Every structure is written in C-alpha cells, then in structure tokens.
A and B are shown apart, each in its own frame.
Chain A
Amino acid sequence: DAGITQSPRHKVTETGTPVTLRCHQTENHRYMYWYRQDPGHGLRLIHYSYGVKDTDKGEVSDGYSVSRSKTEDFLLTLESATSSQTSVYFCAISPMTGPNYGYTFGSGTRLTVV
C-alpha cells in the first residue's frame, strides 16, 4: 500500500459538534488533499496543502478548516458539523503537482451527522 491512512474510518456525530479527521502518510509527499464524495457529485476538493503550514481552499471549503503542522499529518476539522456534511471523506497525497503526477487516495472516512 501507498502508506496513507485515515482515521477514524467511521464516525457518527451530532449536529453542532466539532469533528476532526486525520490523514497520515509515510511517503514524505509534499502535497496532501481532502476530498468529499457524494452521490452525483463525484469527488470535490475541500482543502489542500502544498507544504507544512501551507494550505489553500478548494471548491467546497465552507464549514471546514485544515492544519498541517508536520509533513506526515493533514487534519480536516468541521467547526460545527451539519447534516449536509454527511459524506465520505478521502485524503490524497502526491509527491508534486504538475502533469505527470496523479494522486494516491486513502481508504476514506464515512462521516454521518445526525
């Protein structure tokens, strides 16, 4: 496997509570990404990181924040979870950006907000 793990794999939380998802990689890749996957929408980029403490927003970043204090860890936080954030969340890594590098994905975190 590519050395990328997500935790937890499953979580149920209540509306209004904060939630943090963790992505851990052992590949020393520079770039890390958080996507959410919903039926009919495919994979949509939430936030990404291009280095320690360097992050930027994706297309669906509202209600989410991220942090990257170490190369190997990229955290996604839902400040106050809402039902619309029920989804499957995938972390991805790549060594570089540019035309010759695709992403390697983790196994996902299924989040249910009740």
Chain B
Amino acid sequence: GQQLNQSPQSMFIQEGEDVSMNCTSSSIFNTWLWYKQDPGEGPVLLIALYKAGELTSNGRLTAQFGITRKDSFLNISASIPSDVGIYFCAGQLEGTYKYIFGTGTRLKVLA
C-alpha cells in the first residue's frame, strides 16, 4: 500500500535550536496534517495544510505543503524542553477520504 516516509526517525537537539522534519511519498495528497504525541497520550493536531505550496504557522511551528503535493515539511523554531515528543505527519490521498500516517519523528530536546 501507499507509504509515507518520515525523516528523521529521531533527533536530539539543544534547547534554542531550530528543528526540521519532513514526510515524502510517491503518491499525491490533498491534505497534510501534522500531529504531536506526548508519552501516554494520543496525537494532537498541530497544523493542517490544504493546498500545494501553502505555508502555515502555529506559534513556533511552521509547516508547508510541498509544491508537488507529494511531500510536507515541519519546522520548529527555538525549541524548548516541552517540544519533546513524537511528531507525525498524515496525508489524505487524492481521491480518497482516508489518511495515511508517517512513522513518526521522535524529538528529544537537551536543556
């Protein structure tokens, strides 16, 4: 089936640094969602993107819908310890109502 390749799988960064992660696929998507999951909890929606090229921010988070509609990017600026968690992308395949989730990026912030 279709897959979303999310990278990096994990990363350690220093507090205050900027973070970038991405999701890529060979399939075309109508919508991209970015979620964050804290330990022991379900994913929480951070940002939703609805058209190619769209750039959307939510506080220190900025996400972009790739122009080819096959990828998306999430940036976190000036990371803080509470940014720790797993970040998931989810894409809604063109012509369907279903979302496919990436395998997640585990972020650890060193104070």
A residues apposed to B, CB below 8 Å: 35, 40-45, 58-59, 90, 92, 97-100, 102-108
Contacts and interface: CB of A to CB of B under 8 A. Distances in A.
Nearest to B2: A59
B56 interface: no
Question: Among the interface residues A42, A58, A98, which one has the most CB atoms of the partner chain B within 10 A?
Answer: A42
Nearest to A104: B45
Considering the complex of A and B, which 8 residue pairs feature the smallest CB-CB distances, nearest first?
Answer: A105-B42, A97-B97, A43-B101, A42-B103, A42-B101, A99-B31, A102-B33, A99-B30
A103 B88 contact: no
B98 interface: yes
Contacts, number: 51
Interface residues of B, number: 25
B66 interface: no
15 contacts: A42-B88, A42-B101, A42-B104, A90-B42, A90-B43, A99-B92, A102-B45, A102-B48, A103-B99, A104-B45, A105-B35, A107-B41, A107-B42, A108-B40, A108-B41
A59 B41 contact: no
A41 B102 CA distance: 8
B76 to A, nearest CB: 19
A24 to B, nearest CB: 14
